[in-house]
A and B are shown apart, each in its own frame.
Chain A
Amino acid sequence: MSSKEKGWKEISIAGVCSKSSVGFMTGDWKTYMPVRDLEKCTTCLTCVMLCPEGAIKWRPEMGKIEFDFSFCKGCGICANECPTKAIAMKLPEE
């Protein structure tokens, strides 16, 4: 076991979790990534609602949508469901 992992005296009983999964990045799972055409985006928020990862954030104070690529697994639901076809799935180098 790696030395980072704690001993039995150092952790809370019964497996009470000590970390939030927002510290566990799943963004490196993806092959394709969503790329948004801002001209076509109407901020209807369909992508925000249907993303299983919570990786698409609505920033009401800025009136903007932000993609969080540290969690995006590249599933492509956002691109498939976008009513104005403003999102395309592309390889990162494209």
Chain B
Amino acid sequence: MTTTQEWKFTAKDIAAKPDLFLSGHRACAGCGPAGVLRLIMKATRGPTIVTEATGCMEVVSSIYPYTSWALPWLHTAFETAAANAAGIDAALKAMRRKGKAKQHIDIIALAGDGGTYDIGLQALSGAVERGHDFLFVLYDNEGYMNTGIQRSGGTPIGAATTTTPAGKVIPGKIEKKKPITEIMLAHEMEYVATATPYYWKDMLTKVRKGLEVEGPAFLHVFAPCPRGWRSEPAKTMEYAKLAVESCVFPVWEAINGKRQLSIPSKLIALAPQKKKPVKDYLAGQGRFRHLFTPQNKHVLDEIQRLTDERWQRLLQKCESSV
């Protein structure tokens, strides 16, 4: 990466920039991922090609004959966002060498949690290992929402989905959320970060930094889904804030492996009394409703314990990398 300078994305500049993810898409009212995509496209810095895995955002934005993409955009399959980026990158490199393409073109690969944590992980790992120049943005709504709210490797413990229903014996998903950013960081990538759209300035800065890397970069964006989470559409961005405040989803970035908390999470690290209990985040989401019963209190306690444990571990990692 050429620079670590903080980008000054002001609200007025960003708001004035025309949308590249266009109105008229068919996402549900209050869709977190749609809000994420609309925003992150505003952080592009020039000619850009977007490629996207099968998923909610692919479907809602490309229902033929309509498209919501003002940028060149390619979809091939579910597990292929990173392989698409690899192919585009290889093509651009070869064509530039031969004088058939002149300018530099940025590549953004988009995938949901299914297309990243699960079915797309192999292609992603391969493309990163080979060092293709692209920014992979994971919009994580914690489940296969497009197919009807099934669990993925990104679904958190305790959540009810249609394949991990809250039953009489099993209280929703019993496995933990896969630490995908740790996996990506282990690839020794130049830039890995997490973000939520509530802190949009932080998110856009990270998109821009990811694009500036000459090589692969990975951005994990937390994207609440009112349909799948059984939450109020109006509260989508509120959950994107509460997740940070409860340390369920801390925001941080790692440049060349050096990890540091981003401001919203750093403020909590500096003033731990501001850290909200996970209950504040979980309450109101229908997917966790079954946890607020006496027989499932142990699951709530376990979620708090896991959250604290991961937060402490993150703090240590940030400290040790300074």
Contacts and interface: CB of A to CB of B under 8 A. Distances in A.
Interface of A: 11, 15, 17-26, 29-30, 44-46, 48-55, 58, 60, 68, 71, 73-77, 79-81, 89
**Best-buried of A46, A51, A54, A81 by chain B (most CB within 10 Å):** A54
B35 A50 contact: yes
A83 to B, nearest CB: 12
B307 interface: no
A18 B63 CA distance: 11
B23 A75 contact: no
B234 A21 contact: no
Given A21-B23, A50-B200, A54-B19, A80 B238 contact: yes
Contacts, number: 115
Contacts of B19: 54
B29 A74 contact: yes
A49 B15 contact: yes
A2 B62 CA distance: 20
Nearest to A32: B234
A7 to B, nearest CB: 13
Contact of A17 (B62, B197, B200): B62
A80 B234 contact: yes
A19 B66 contact: yes
B55 to A, nearest CB: 16
Nearest to B21: A54
Interface of B: 11-12, 14-16, 19, 21-32, 34-35, 38-39, 61-62, 64-68, 70, 197-198, 200, 226, 232-238
Contact of B22 (A44, A54, A60, A89): A54
Given A60-B12, A80-B237, A52 B38 contact: yes
The A interface, classified by DSSP as helix, strand, loop or mixed, is loop
A77 B24 contact: no
| 5 interchain residue pairs of minimum CB distance | A21-B24, A76-B234, A75-B30, A58-B15, A17-B67
A58 B238 contact: no
Contacts of B234: 75-77, 79-80, 89
A17 B65 contact: yes
B30 A21 contact: no
26 contacts: A19-B67, A20-B22, A20-B68, A22-B23, A22-B24, A24-B24, A26-B23, A26-B26, A49-B15, A49-B200, A50-B197, A52-B27, A52-B30, A53-B23, A54-B19, A54-B23, A54-B38, A58-B12, A58-B16, A73-B28, A73-B29, A75-B226, A77-B233, A77-B236, A80-B238, A81-B237
